[in-house]
Chains A and B, each alone.
Chain A
Amino acid sequence: MIQFKLNGVPAQIAADAMLVTYLREDIGATATKIGCDIGRCGACTVLRDGAPINACLVMGWQIEHAEITTITGLETQPAGRVLIKAMEIENGFQCGYCAPGVMMSLTGLLSVESLPDDAMIEEALEGNICRCTGYHSILRGARLARDMMKDTRR
């Protein structure tokens, strides 16, 4: 078995288990969603050592000793807390099924790049499909989060 940390807690996964399957099927951690199973929609995005990746493209052997953060651990991330606030204010989502993935992609960006320009925000979202919003409410939420982080830095 492969040892890793899931939202700060030690966990074990089989080397050939797909991370998203492990989360949703094996341990019932269904806060992380599944949308396409081939890395094309981003609903299953999680952070591996802080960087957003698709949990449907990563097997146990690829996360040995890694720190995996899912939407469940979002509030442990400073950028995640700001993003949550901003998305609430802007009403970033509609059905919300893409949200766990989108939130992780943006948290990954805002954690390393606290003042991303609009182009960087868009690029960070290229792997996340949202069918409800037309993306603009998500972009407004992301930009507000950036501006809020800017204000904190001042």
Chain B
Amino acid sequence: MIRLEHISKTFHPGEAPEIKALDDLNLNIAAGEYLVVVGANGSGKSTLLNLLAGTYPPDRGELYIGTEAIGHKAEHERSRYMARLFQNPLTGTAPELSILENFRLAALRTSSKKLRIGIDAQFRQSVASSIARLGMGLENKLAQPMGQLSGGQRQALTLLMSVQADCQLLLMDEPTSALDPRNAELVMELADTLIREKALTAILVTHRLKDCVQYGSRLILLQEGRIAKDLSAAEKQQVTLPEIYNWFSGA
């Protein structure tokens, strides 16, 4: 469903130090696949997600969703296909807007924002029942500004928001790195449940090796902007935590 063909991205070209973040990368992601990406700092993981999301265009190569080339579409245009969970749990929500208003935007992610009052009793009800599954009691605080919630709560809500509108691809950029272990667990569990429930295609970039053993249907290791290892679901089940750890020490 998602294809990356000969993607290269260099930062500060011609200057020292020139940083080759991705180097002629080819990657095919099937619909419904849950791809986990690991790699050392500077291996190109974040660049990969940013290129998919449209933060910047690739220098060379093309990206496809289905048969559509999206390499040079702006970020806000690509949001029609994908939702994103950021590394900073505060990035995915607007702090001065209420929980309800944040969810309203999420529900309109793939459509236009018109001059009509879209928040009605029915919408309020549907958001409340969606949030109730978190078991955080937030369904009774829909008018509360998002900024008053904790990072863990906000990341969990961001995750729920991503499935409010049709979502073909879920991008997760170290979504738990700023959360305490309990909240990290909760967010990963919720992501896993939603991905199964909605049959989403998902990409998770993570440094938590435990997560890349536990979650996902495919595992790749990036090294210096190239795919160094690519494990299918079956292979991934065989791999152990120490083995993955050794990938990083160059063994």
B partners with A: no
